Homo-oligomer: A and B are copies of this chain.
Amino acid sequence: GIVLVGPNTMGILCTRSRLFATGTHTRPREGSVAFVSQSGNLGVQLIHWAERQGVGVSLFVGSGNEAVVTCSDYLEFLSEDAGSRTIMLYLESMREGRRFFETAKKINRTKPIIVLKGGRTEAGRAASASHTGAMSGEVKIFRAACRQAGLLEARVPSELLDLSAGFSSLPLPRGNRVGIVTLGGGWGVVTSDECNEKGLAVPPLPQEVVNRIGKHLPPFWSRGNPVDLVGTRDPEAPLVAVEELLKWEGIDAVISLGIVGRIEFLRLMNQSIRTVDKNMPAGFLDQTEAMVRDYEEKYIAATAELMEKYAKPVIGVSLVSTSGGTVRSVPGRRYSAVLYETPESAVHVLARMVNYQNILGKEETEYRRQ
């Protein structure tokens, strides 16, 4: 028989073999995220986002109406594809539900599967019927099956990307206890609220950790978690804080806010100086920018190194849209630095990683009991 992708597909893409056969001219970098999408248009747009955000992609297929090859078939292939280690799915409908969920459950143990179901509501189902012609099944059944198989459900496309960036770049947290390092108090408050509301803890720090971090901070610092760096100019302070938190057994993950991204504000200030003070030597301002840029690069490399050393995730929040994107791979390192634009993205991804870790743990226990 003939193997047919689609019909109604936006094409396929394989970065490793430099095959870019999609309707849209987008070229994501090579990486470990595979994406199967029943919507071609939404699919290629997400691949474009992946490119912009630096999320590394292995394969994309617009599976379309799945006349011959179905999402279960693609999943089976992906389970054997060494280059694919995180899987995103956009589904409106499925045939062979049992086969799909059995396959997915097996694969999900080693390759996290993040799934967005289109047509969850009455309006969505009506739209879907005229789109892929799909008869979307009962959403409650779908959700229950996802839960049973341990799949991670996303609600909107941007979440698929955020989660893929995190899962493909960071070590899994072993628990839900977060250390926060921030350049400004308000962001620490907002991030703490987000953590608690998503089921993550922000534990107080033991005195010895406070003391060690305090050596690099002015005496009026927060002395607690979040570690508020109160705008310190000590270049070592941010990394000392991050490492001291990672070192402590009471913390499973670190979120750092505003440390990378600071260059944006320096640029604005230098722009003002250039306008106002014509006597300021341009070379000096360029030099300050180069120094901060250099510092940010080193910070990114150091977080990748620290993640390897402590096997705990460090998630950055840039608070500005940076040209470098969300995922910053560091040559020779197992993990990549991840920089979300907002704290809510960082907290959300971390919370889902904790979920996933719990699912794995539960399965492990069940397996041992058998």
Contact = CB atoms under 8 A, between A and B. Distances in A.
A255 to B, nearest CB: 12
Contacts of A25: 265, 268-269, 271-272
B196 A123 contact: yes
A194 B156 contact: yes
A353 B202 CA distance: 34
B193 A41 contact: no
A265 B255 CA distance: 34
Of listed A124, A186, A226, A321, residue having the most chain B CB within 10 A: A186
Bin the interface of chain A by size: 35 or more
B131 A193 contact: no
A212 to B, nearest CB: 18
B156 A190 contact: yes
Interface in A226-251: 226, 228
Contacts of A29: none
Contacts of A45: 184, 187, 258, 319-320
B122 A183 contact: no
A92 interface: yes
Interface stretch (A94-102, A113-121, A284-292, A294-302): A113-121
A361 B365 CA distance: 55
A237 to B, nearest CB: 16
A188 interface: yes
Interface string A26-53: 1000000000011111110100100010
Nearest to A188: B127
B201 A123 contact: yes
Nearest to A319: B45
A37 B319 CA distance: 17
A126 interface: yes
Interface string A98-116: 0000000000000000001
Contacts of A258: 41, 45
A183 to B, nearest CB: 7
A127 B342 contact: no
A201 B127 CA distance: 13
Given A123-B196, A269-B25, A342 B42 contact: no
B319 A118 contact: no
A316 interface: no
Interface of A: 24-26, 37-43, 45, 48, 52, 90, 92, 116, 118-124, 126-128, 130-132, 155-158, 180, 183-190, 192-197, 201-202, 204, 222-224, 226, 228, 258, 264-265, 268-269, 271-272, 319-321, 342-344
Give me the 10 closest cross-chain CB pairs, A-B, nearest first: A39-B186, A41-B184, A42-B186, A131-B185, A121-B196, A124-B193, A123-B202, A123-B192, A118-B189, A25-B268
